[in-house]
Structure 1
């Protein structure tokens, strides 16, 4: 465990996930070019992205079950191969329907990748490292958005559609080769509970029924839906057409999602490890930050300044690493034999929310701009202001589900383990009150030491002791202080 070989496996797994994120987000960067190439409406374009993300979300549960059965290496290889094949189809597609079929293959391969990397880690690393490594996987994998937002976008503009997508195919070929060469299964996980009779369907059903799994699903839905909606499809058209930013500035703004992961990932990982019973409060705080940032963009009179837009994208990006807490819920509230199934259920939440949101945004854009409208009318800022109301409806549904499943999870913890988790404000009040009492005790001790150091009248007739005036509990008391060496 934690060996050099383990870190090599970790590095190759993260690279495979980085390539998957790159392939996932290339079509969003190519959204405007796809509109012109295929003469497509916003709703048709969003339908392609919706199908891709829908396939990803719907495959999470069966992929989790397959991981429990076959292990990570085989599933990683299948995923990388499928994404390369899908991007090859997109590169030579003459019509949008065929390009949509290619993106379905990309969604399938993407679905196989992330969970495989997460499932791979417990066999190579100690449990103490896992919360931090989970965040590092998400943080480093998010660099794929930078690859798609900057090098891929420039290649698309300068060299055209086919060469740009063929280059992305080469990345998948590289990932497939590295996984085949270096990734192996680690130590088998010890069973925390006996495997129930009835096969994988029983394991999957029992994982789905656990309130902790449902808590992970709704936490992931609340936090991952919004950044996925922007990074996969609508963020780039919003920045380049509605706001009117040049490609380089838009790519830099989209890259703030990565900066948010770099800043927020380790911090959130530390807080999860430090305060494991307050993870749901952390999810609620990150959700308030991200949806509050989107609300600023919607309500701002006119087009916001670039600084406001960048700050909002940075705040929304923090929801990406925050959504990993949902997978941590699934891992800790399920036995080891159901880890893949539970993680698949939780990880599907953000992508189901994202594909519903992407489709609704496309419908609202078409309704605002009208059928056959020009690009600048279809993707105008006022149209996006209305269309971006759709993520709030998804967030509200996820918030209600999270609060209900949290209450059921805490009730089950009390019945099974006798653990009572007080409301956050009660725990905060107790901590503040305890901190005040501790500070008063420290001040009394410091005053006692100062008086002993400064107000003693020289050595007494006892060679190993002296009398000092010190403050007791509100009175002046005499204290006999014995030096340690005596």
Structure 2
């Protein structure tokens, strides 16, 4: 555990995820060029990204089951190879329908990647390190947005569609080779509860029925949908067309998502490790921050100044590392043999929310501007001001689901472990007064170092 080989495996896994994030967001960077190349509408363009994200979200649960059965190395290599094939199809697609096929393959490969990396780590590192490492995977992987927003965007502008997407193919080929050569499974995880009779379907049903898994799903949807729909598709057209930023400056603003991960990821990881009983309060706080900045961005009279756009994207970007708390819920509220299945269920939340939001934004843009409107009208700031109401609908659904799942989770904790949950304001009042925190009082359950029974 925690050996040099473990850190090498961690590095290769992070690189594979970085490449996956790059592939995920390349089509969003090429959104304006794709509109012109395929002579298509915003709704049709959003369909490409929606299908890709929908495939990602719908495959999370099957991928989790496959990980529990076959392990991370093979699934990670298959994912990288699928993304290379998908980008190859996009590079030579003559019509938008062929591009959809390519992005479906990219979505499939992307779906295989993140969960594989997360499932790989417990075999190489001690449990105390895992919440922080989970955040570091997300933080370092988010550098892929910079790769797509700057080098890829410049290649696309200075060379051609084929050259830019073939460079993305090369990245995934390299990732496949490194995984096959250097990644090995770590120590097998000990069973924390007996495996249920009925095999993998029974494990999946059991994980899905746990309120803690559902809590992870809704937490990931609330915080994961907004940065994903901006990073995958609509952030770049918003900055370049609605705000009027040049490519380099738009790339820098998109890079603030990475800066938010660099600052927010380790901080959130530390808070989760230090206060595991208050994770849902952390999710609600980060959600209020991110959606609050989006609301201010839309309510600004006229086109907002650059400094506020940068501040808003930084605040919205904190939702990315915040969404990782959903996976921590899934991990700690499930036995070791169901870790992949539970993580897949939780991780699907943000991407299901993202593809619903992305498609709704495309429909609202077309409805606001009309199907035959030029790009300047279609992607105007006033049009985005209406279209960006869609993420608030997703967040409202997620909030209701989270509150219901949290109530059921706390009730189950009391029945199984006798843990009584104090409201946050009561716990805060006790801490302010300097009272000692009782070990069985708190918030959302099991310590990250071991699953809750």
**TM-score, normalised to structure 2's length?**
0.96
Does structure 1 residue 175 correspond to structure 2 residue 180?
A: no
Query: Partners of 2:160 and 2:34 in 1: how far apart?
Result: 11
C-alpha distance after superposition, 1:98-139 (max 9, x if no partner) = 001000000000000000000000000000100000000000
Q: Give the C-alpha shift of residue 435 in structure 1.
A: 6.0
Tell me, which stretches of 5 or more residues in structure 1 are unaligned?
Answer: 437-486
Equivalent position of 2:65 in the other structure: 65
- Between the aligned partners of 1:53 and 1:160, the Cα distance in structure 2 is 25
**1:366 partnered with 2:366:** yes
Name the structure 1 match of 2:430.
430
Give 1:233 shift. Answer: 0.1
1:48-447 aligned at under 5 Å gives the runs 48-434=48-434
Q: How do residues 448-467 of structure 1 correspond to structure 2 at under 5 angstroms?
A: none
Alignment of 1:11-30 (within 5 A): 11-30=11-30
Cα distance in 2 for partners of 1:213, 1:327 equals: 9
- 1:41 and 2:45 aligned: no
Distance (Å, rounded) in 2 between the aligned partners of 1:102 and 1:161: 14
- Measured in 2, the distance between the counterparts of 1:250 and 1:302 equals 19
Q: Which has the higher contact order (CA 8 A, sep 6+)?
A: 2
Distance (Å, rounded) in 2 between the aligned partners of 1:253 and 1:387: 20
Deviation at 1:434, TM superposition (A): 2.1
Tell me the distance in 2 between the aligned counterparts of 1:433 and 1:192.
38
Counterpart CA distance in 1 for 2:422 and 2:144 is 40
**Unpaired runs of 5+ in structure 2?**
437-453
TM score, norm. by length of structure 1: 0.89
C-alpha spacing 1:435/1:203, structure 2 compared with 1 (3 Å): closer
Deviation of 1:304 after TM superposition, in Å, equals: 0.3
CA distance in 2, matches of 1:235, 1:394: 17
Corresponding residue SS for 1:434: coil
**Residue-pair matches, total:** 436
Q: Deviations over 1:449-485 (max 9, x none)?
A: xxxxxxxxxxxxxxxxxxxxxxxxxxxxxxxxxxxxx
Q: Aligned partners of 1:398, 1:13: CA distance in 2, in Å?
A: 30
Specify the alignment match of 1:483 in structure 2: none
Cα RMSD after superposing both structures: 0.7
